[in-house]
């Protein structure tokens, strides 16, 4: 329930307004020298308060590594990572202690467990993802060192504004050039304007994050139930507010005929590859060696500041006016989350492939 992966296994813990959050990473091979500055840079891209487009909650999210690393290198034993909350303000949530907020997990958590932590959404809060990003930072460094894999995410669309992005050429430098993390500068400016407009109206807006994994060799993934794209879908859809996933041509591919959609195999200087990549780097649940391209859709943030009606625990209709600090658009901070989902999935499948093939 709070763990993912078979061989590269990650368990997260903690709540949005609790004492701390963290992750335990099992299965990371020994001897990996951790670049802690790079790990912190991954976390800084996710943390709140990084720009005017995000929630002003002020959390430095400085990671503390409490086990599994000795003299800067992984030992092969469980790696424990922890973050202490510093700027949680639970007072804004007292008014919704007994209220089911529309679009949130309040009702479903209570239906499942018979109780819930009402402070900031508790375990259902997007704050939980700080632990995933930290664990994925380790996966990123191992995948790069061992396999030369690079994962880059970006904001592909906000509402109806769609960027023009070439997954084969997009870079992290281009992505980080604007606070909205869209590498198309013209559309990025329009996205920023729209998010600001929505924020001033007390509303929220959603969109799509794209991501590409380059350097993934052919042969990663398992047939049938554990297909690579199936595990990627699960990883992305487990992210807060993620409501859709596609790989390669995705839903757009349904508008083509088979004769148009198939990727022809070619011999490229002795290497078998595909001339196009509508499959998104996966066939039969196994990587093809082409760039792995995915997209994840995020709904508008459920906490907006316009009046709503809902019900309380007693079933009585009540008026709701949200308070607190919230993102008007989750997309800029969702980029490192989608990258994390891809990285954790790839690290696990890389180890699983080695376990099978040697």
CATH number at residue 139: 3.60.150.10
Alpha-carbon span 250 to 278, nearest angstrom: 8
From residue 73, give the alpha-carbon distance in Å to each of 38, 77, 138, 199, 354: 14, 11, 11, 44, 22
Q: C-alpha angle with apex 131: 141 to 55, nearest 5 degrees?
A: 110
Mean pLDDT of 309-332: 86
pLDDT score of 311 more than 80:
yes
pLDDT at 236 over 60: yes
Residue 212, pLDDT above cutoff 90: yes
* pLDDT above 80 for 253: yes
**Range from 74-88, 140-154, 308-322 that averages highest in pLDDT:** 140-154
What pLDDT, on a 0 to 100 scale, did the predictor assign at position 88? 61
Question: What is the pLDDT, as a whole number, of residue 98?
Answer: 87
pLDDT tens digits, 24-39: 999 999 999 999 999 9
Radius of gyration of the chain measured on its C-alpha atoms: 21
pLDDT higher than threshold 80 for residue 87: no
- Higher per-residue confidence, 309 vs 53: 309
Other residues' Cβ atoms within 10 Å of the Cβ of residue 24 = 21
The Cβ-side half-sphere exposure at 83, using a 13 Å CA radius, reads: 31
What average pLDDT does the segment 266-274 reach?
A: 95
The structural domain count of the chain equals 1
Average pLDDT over residues 210-234: 97
Mean pLDDT for the stretch of residues 145-159? 98
Q: How far apart are CA 343 and CA 354, in angstroms?
A: 17
Supply the range of the domain harboring residue 133. Answer: 3-357
Judged by average pLDDT, the poorest of 21-35, 84-98, 146-160, 162-176 is 84-98
CB 312 within 8 A of CB 100: yes
pLDDT tens for residues 52-66?
A: 676 665 667 899 999
Longest dimension (CA), the chain: 70
Residue 121, pLDDT score: 78
pLDDT of res. 355: 78
The pTM of the full predicted model, rounded to 2 decimals, is 0.94
Q: Which tops the pLDDT comparison, 56 or 300?
A: 300
């Amino acid at each position: 329930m709070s763990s993912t992966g078979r061989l590269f296994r990650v368990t997260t813990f903690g709540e949005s307004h609790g004492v701390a959050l963290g992750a335990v990473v099992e299965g990371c091979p020994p001897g990996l020298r951790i670049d802690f500055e790079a790990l912190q840079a991954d976390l800084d891209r996710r943390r709140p308060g990084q720009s005017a487009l995000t929630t002003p909650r002020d959390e430095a999210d400085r990671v503390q590594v409490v086990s599994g690393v000795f003299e800067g290198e992984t030992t092969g034993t469980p790696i424990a990572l922890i973050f202490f909350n510093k700027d949680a303000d639970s007072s804004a949530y007292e008014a919704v202690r007994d209220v089911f907020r529309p679009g949130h997990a309040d009702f479903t958590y209570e239906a499942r467990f018979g109780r819930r932590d009402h402070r900031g959404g508790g375990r259902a809060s997007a704050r939980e993802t700080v632990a995933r990003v930290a664990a994925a930072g380790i996966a990123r460094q191992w995948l790069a060192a061992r396999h030369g894999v690079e994962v880059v995410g970006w904001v592909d669309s906000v509402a109806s504004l769609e960027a023009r992005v070439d997954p084969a050429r997009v870079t992290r430098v281009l992505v980080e050039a604007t606070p909205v993390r869209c590498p198309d500068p013209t559309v990025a400016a329009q996205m920023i304007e729209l998010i600001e407009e929505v924020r001033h109206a007390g509303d929220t807006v959603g969109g799509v994050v794209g991501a590409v994994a380059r350097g993934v060799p052919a042969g990663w993934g398992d047939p049938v139930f554990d297909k690579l794209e199936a595990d990627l879908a699960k990883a992305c859809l487990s992210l807060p507010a993620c409501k859709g996933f596609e790989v390669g041509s995705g839903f757009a591919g349904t508008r083509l005929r088979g004769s148009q959609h198939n990727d022809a195999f070619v011999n490229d200087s002795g290497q078998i590859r595909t001339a196009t990549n509508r499959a998104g780097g996966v066939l039969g649940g196994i990587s093809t060696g082409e760039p792995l391209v995915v997209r994840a859709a995020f709904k508008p943030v459920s906490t907006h500041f316009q009046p709503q009606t809902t019900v309380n625990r007693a079933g009585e209709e009540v008026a709701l006016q949200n308070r607190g600090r919230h993102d008007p658009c989750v997309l800029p901070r969702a980029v490192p989350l989608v990258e994390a989902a891809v990285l954790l999935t790839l690290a696990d499948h890389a180890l699983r492939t080695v376990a099978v093939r040697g």
